[in-house]
Amino acid sequence: MTNDDLIYQIEMVRNTMITVGMSKGLTSSETILLSKKLDRLLNLQFHRQKVRSA
């Protein structure tokens, strides 16, 4: 996955999570799963940037 792909994925999951959170609630299982997926993507991006700057 390229960096552009990763950024696109992050934005898509973030937007979906916001939409689901607004319609189903912030504590719905779907919102929580999307939040965890977003966390994994953000951690991947962080680690990639950390490796590039080292």
Q: Which tens digit of pLDDT belongs to each residue from 13-26?
A: 999 999 999 999 99
Q: How far apart are the first and last CA of the chain?
A: 20
Spatial distance between the Cα atoms of 30 and 24, rounded to a whole number of angstroms: 8
Write out the two tokens for 13. 């999951």
- Residue 10 pLDDT class (50, 70, 90 cuts): very high
| Domains by residue range for the chain, with CATH | 3-53 (4.10.280)
Q: Distance between CA 16 and CA 19 in Å, rounded?
A: 5
Q: pLDDT tens, 23-49? A: 999 999 999 999 999 999 999 999 999
d(CA 45, CA 4): 10
- Judge whether residue 54 has pLDDT over 80: no
- Rounded to two decimals, what is the model's pTM? 0.90
Residue 41 contacts residue 10 (beta carbons within 8 Å): yes
